[in-house]
Amino acid sequence: MIRILNQSQILINMKVLIVDFEDSFTFNIQGMLKEWGIPSEVLNNKNLSLQHIKDKSYQTVIWGPGPGHPDEYSSASLIIEELFKESKVYQIGICLGHQLILKSMGYEITEAPIKRHGRRDEYIIPSWEEFKMASHGEKLSVQYYSSLAVKYEGNPVSGLEVTNKNGVIDSSKGANHLSFQFHPESVGTNCPEVLFYKWRKSLIQ
């Protein structure tokens, strides 16, 4: 049985930025965080710069979903690459954000083998430290909205762990990032708090 992290616990002062690629789901992400007591700011990707992130001292940057191909957002890709050099900044990628993070590591973006717009599917929680041990192997229903995907190419790059579904990377994690091809913030995903267990716990005082 999956247990939800205690909602009454106090969160420390944490600066979270959500990068908006002009997608309404961005504000669903912000609403989800607000329900958990986590304040966040939203900034359009066109107004984003590495210096802005440094000036504002954001500790987490969430790269949200959006339309189009990751190649259309070259400035975001460059910022992601630079942030990986900043050990203090944690990055989370959702859908397009997931693709941008992995593209910055050299992975290929391809047509999704199954185009899933508003379709639910099963996600088996991997045995990663990001997730509570008791939830490892549990099955969640998650919601997808995607025509593109990240091609799975066998052994991942050093320090990266991934889950593979139908030949594409469904989720990934590294020392300073976590990403999902599906939408944790969608009403079609049950128990989204389980997917951010370690990250949420790191914010609790």
Tokens, residue 13: 């002062």
| CB distance 97 to 79 below 8 Å | no
Residues noted as catalytic: 95
The residues near 78 (Cβ < 8 Å, ≥ 6 apart) are 50
Tell me how many degrees the CA angle 151-155-156 measures, rounded to the nearest 5. Answer: 70
50 phi and psi, to 5 degrees?
A: -60, -40
Q: Containing H/E element for 116?
A: strand 109-124
Residue in this structure with the two tokens 């609403």, named with its chain if needed: 31
| β-bridge mates for residue 106, sequence order | none
Tell me how many degrees the CA angle 73-31-132 measures, rounded to the nearest 5. Answer: 90
Tokens, residue 190: 């049950």
DSSP state of 47: G
Q: Please tell me the total number of residues recorded for the chain in this structure.
A: 205
